[in-house]
Structure 1
Amino acid sequence: MDTTLDRLRIWLTKTRVFASPRSKRRFLIHIFVLGFVFAIATIFIQRQFSFLTDAQALREFIRGYGILAPGALIGFQALQVVAAPIPGQVLAVVAGYLFGVWWGTLYNMIGITIGSTIAFWISRRYGRAYVETIIHEETLARFDTVSNDHGHPALFFFFLIPGLPDDILCFVGGLTNIPLWQLIILAVIGRTPAFFFVNVVGDLLGTDQIPTATVLAVILVVISVAGYLNRDPIIRLFEDSS
């Protein structure tokens, strides 16, 4: 029993991402505040703009604001890469719902590109000391080893697999000697497939194809959970081949 608990404790320590308990508390506070604001905003919108419950009417309403709506989406997507207040996949569903598959994917990837570039630049500009205030030292060290030994293929693979902490990779990548433009290409190409399919889910929801959207969403969730639960074995594969 004690051995099992010890192993569990070790596993939890190794998989910790936050640099400190304080960082974790700050993150959770941000999530709570954003959730509260979102809930209040949702109630207000439902009362004041009841027509927004109609998917097609909502899409036309948002599109009526022209470039402002896509601009807001792009800004939020860029922000989540750097600060992670909202999961990028959630924004991708919203984008697909509002703008359709192709435009939604385009707006998402523009935001991802901007956010990734900022994260790469911050990491490269302020160095490891700053990154260690964001990412737990042991987590950073593991990705350091993999990215330094395997470079482009490893980073691309981690960006490609859903469920892996790809936003962390943006900061890790900035600490490597890989040119910035190459890092951006790796991040964009690697992350596009997953975001495309999440946008498909949003588009299906926006066109009232609920059963199909549900099936695809379940498949994506299963893949993401599998990637997340197997992140340590995946990282070890690269570590063992170093």
Structure 2
Amino acid sequence: MKLYHVKLILKGVSILGILLTIWAVFKLYQMGAFSDSKVLIDLLKGYGIWAPLIFILIQIIQVVIPILPGGVSLAAGVVMFGPWWGFLYNYIGIVLGSLALFWLGRRFGHRIIDVFVSEQTLQKYMHKLDSKGWHITFALLIFSPIAPDDTLVLLTSLTKMTWREFTLIIVLGKPLSIFAYSLAMLYGADWLMRLIGN
């Protein structure tokens, strides 16, 4: 299968994921899950002790294969499990997903990177990857809630950065960006729902 066809399939899967997310949000809104915490809690009780594990697995998959917009799943975690547990489950899922993505990049190199990273983005960062300052640049970008983390992880897998260095940057850098992004998406969604309600 040609690279063009693989990219086309992935784009189709991503669009399908977005449409399913919109449908799920609409259904949850109809059920009152965003306005009544009891409805949301009752919904999660249906999955019992599996709910956090299912959510973490979704986050791992989301990092490796971007099916859903990352911000949506981050906010969903906070809404479903509360600010602290939601943050923890988001953190665990994203860190594990980032480690898996780094391993895939190391294992398959350009064969996988060319599928997930556009040529424009590749050219934008490629000349920086071999520079001595990439460790610092990567760490600062990972701290930022608006950086393309998944792309940066894949690109960094091409460098000589060790597993230990990468893991340390991800483990220390992710909490701030996850917290900031979760709050932004959560309160942004709340504002949007109030606007729709009016």
TM-score range, shorter chain: 0.7 to 0.9
* C-alpha deviation, 1:126, in angstroms: 1.5
User: Do structure 1's residue 57 and structure 2's residue 38 form an aligned pair?
Assistant: yes
Letter in 1 for 2:38: A
Structure 1 length-normalised TM: 0.65
Q: Which residue is 2:78 aligned to? A: 96
Cα contact 1:81–1:112 (8 A) shared by 2: yes
Q: 1:55 to 1:200 in 2, by over 3 A?
A: farther
Residue-by-residue CA offset, 1:108-138 (whole Å, 9 max, x unaligned): 0111111101111011111234322332345
Letter in 1 for 2:14: I
Structure 1 residue runs without a partner (length 5+)? 1-19, 215-242
Q: 1:36 to 1:24 in 2, by over 3 A?
A: same
Q: 1:151 to 1:46 in 2, by over 3 A?
A: closer
Provide the identity percentage: 25
Q: Which residue is 2:55 aligned to? A: 73
Residue-by-residue CA offset, 1:137-158 (whole Å, 9 max, x unaligned): 4532442332321132011112
Structure 2 length-normalised TM: 0.78
Cα contact 1:147–1:176 (8 A) shared by 2: yes
Q: Which residue is 1:112 aligned to? A: 94
Cα contact 2:106–2:157 (8 A) shared by 1: yes
Residue-by-residue CA offset, 1:23-65 (whole Å, 9 max, x unaligned): 5533331133224444555666677xx4645431134221563
Alignment of 1:209-224 (within 5 A): 210=190
Q: Which residue is 1:193 aligned to? A: 176
Residue-by-residue CA offset, 1:153-177 (whole Å, 9 max, x unaligned): 0111121223221110111111111
SS for the counterpart of 1:112 is helix
Cα contact 1:81–1:116 (8 A) shared by 2: yes
Structure 2 residue runs without a partner (length 5+)? none
RMSD: 3.2
Residue-by-residue CA offset, 1:11-31 (whole Å, 9 max, x unaligned): xxxxxxxxx764553333113
Q: 1:192 to 1:64 in 2, by over 3 A?
A: same
User: Do structure 1's residue 29 and structure 2's residue 7 form an aligned pair?
Assistant: no
Cα contact 1:112–1:188 (8 A) shared by 2: no
Structure showing greater radius of gyration is 1
Letter in 1 for 2:97: G
SS for the counterpart of 1:175 is coil
Q: Distance in 2 between matches of 1:27 and 1:89?
A: 19
User: Do structure 1's residue 146 and structure 2's residue 128 form an aligned pair?
Assistant: yes
Q: Which residue is 1:123 aligned to? A: 105
Cα contact 1:59–1:98 (8 A) shared by 2: yes
Q: Distance in 2 between matches of 1:132 and 1:32?
A: 19
Q: 1:39 to 1:136 in 2, by over 3 A?
A: closer
Cα contact 2:95–2:174 (8 A) shared by 1: no
Q: Distance in 2 between matches of 1:36 and 1:204?
A: 22
Q: How many residues align?
A: 190
Cα contact 1:82–1:119 (8 A) shared by 2: yes
